[in-house]
Structure 1
Amino acid sequence: MTAANLIESSLVWDNHGCMPLRPFDEEFLPQLKRYRDAGVNVAILNIGCGEQGIEDHVRVLAAFRRWLKDHPADYVIVETVSDIEQSRADGKLAVAFDIEGANGIADQPSLLGLYYDLGVRWMLMAYNRNNRVGGGCHDEDGGLTDFGREVLDEMAKVGMVACCTHTGYRTAMDVMSYSSRPVIFSHSNARAVHDHPRNITDEQMKACAATGGVVGINGIGIFLGANDNSPEAYVRHLDHAVQLIGPDHVGIGLDYVFDQQELDDYVRTMAHTFPKGMGYEAGVRMVAPEAIEPIVERLVKLGYSDAVLRAVLGENFLRVAREVWR
């Protein structure tokens, strides 16, 4: 079976994508079609990150939801796992949302239920820097806080998946030890392959797998290598994870940013979140959705079976959704 045929016959799930976080600017939203053209069936879109607060998150979420509902022939806002199966059968893109860091709930865990009802399906604990929940990967990580445990309890209650991408080592290990549900790294790469502080250790990958979770391999060039967004660089990280924790615990989380200028602006204006010397400066390369087919081609050459490829392409994240979502 060719890579194109395998993609067409599989559920393909990209667990993290970044549309511009500008609620009154719809210029880039039609580019969601690129996911479908690349064979993607499920796309999880970010609605806020880092220092952005409740109002920022809600404004973006409202704007995304309105636009998607205005295009019902092409998109479905996910409410249940069955929506994913039905939208794929109908040839539509299933869309859900994520929050990067807990600033979107401030000091109010009860907001998690509201976000969930509006389509948010996972939230990561901290975005590079420390917050009320715990430590970030670019900060002095003091571990999961009492408030963080309260947040995890509420997430489990409402059905939201806990994510440890961007999170500090100690906090991530605490989360995976504390959680009674599968925990994910939605878009993280292997530090053993490329030593960047934003990447995760083999120990973290193993701990994630032990919860029943999934590590989504990230497509940002500075996390893959020396700003290397080639399919080969992506496959190196993916294959490392598969060999380490098994094919049932690896997925795709490209972290593709549709507006490169917005990313460059965030790096410039959020210097505390994106510290110098980490490669965040302008010109970060990314693996685009269109690269999924070349990536699959290389995995086929490595001897990956159809069953393993289907697991990595989407079935693993679907399993977590079935286990955690309400």
Structure 2
Amino acid sequence: MIYTVTLNPSIDYIVRLDQVQVGSVNRMDSDDKFAGGKGINVSRVLKRLDIPNTAAGFIGGFTGKFITDTLADEAIETRFVQVAEDTRINVKIKADQETEINGTGPTVEPAQLEELKAILSSLTAEDTVVFAGSSAKNLGNVIYKDLIALTRQTGAQVVCDFEGQPLIDSLDYQPLLVKPNNHELGAIFGVKLDSLEQIEKYARELLAKGAQNVIISMAGDGALLVTSEGAYFAKPIKGTVKNSVGAGDSMVAGFTGEFVKSKDAVEAFKWGVACGTATTFSDDLATAEFIKETYEKVEVEKR
């Protein structure tokens, strides 16, 4: 079973209008509300690919109920730990410029953290856990190291989709996949990456430090997979960019879902690229039909 862990989920409230007049009353043209959070996005895409999974993490209040109701409507199993405060709302204003206002999220009490640890402790070597996104405000991202260590003790695999020190710390536990983008990769090593050769060089550093597979996403310039067997470049696919939210999460879902089935990293990479690209060209997370259509356009070459 694939589990996703979202420590600080959200309702993503998307507001559309032509222009924002600061200090005045603004009227929107349209709006949408989605169950958000990186791990939740992974769960939703996995389900669209008919891959069973369970979403876990912390949830609370009427906003948390919106998320659990949404996932129930999509037939996604959940094992959330209830917290006292409301799950956060992230506001995304799409006007002549795109602006985001992100909530801080609820406090997680020690007993609630222990509940999540108990869930992770019950897993087996047949399971894979995707840890993604920022942590609850009072736990800090350092909590990931404890949760990953606990999960690996069960024999389960881990996929780590976050940046900075938590990603570096995760390498001690041989994650199945890490997926920084090219800018995040450069920040880890304190360098500016100007070429594919440089990106591959530093991706191999992550491999040497413990990662089993490394994907570097490069937005409109394609993506790079580095494994112990070689490096593989996915050419960018042309299309109209509609949505940057959830594209990376979709890539993680595509890779993880396929790898768990086939254990073929290159084929999993192709599905990851298809999912990420399809979401980029969609208003929301991509549909299964569009993902499969996009998969046919994926071109991967070994370097």
TM-score scaled by length of structure 1: 0.37
Greater share of strand residues, 1 or 2?
2
TM (normalized to structure 2)? 0.39
Which structure would you say has the larger RCO, counting Cα contacts within 8 Å and 6 or more residues apart?
1
- Kindly name which structure, 1 or 2, has the bigger radius of gyration based on alpha carbons: 2
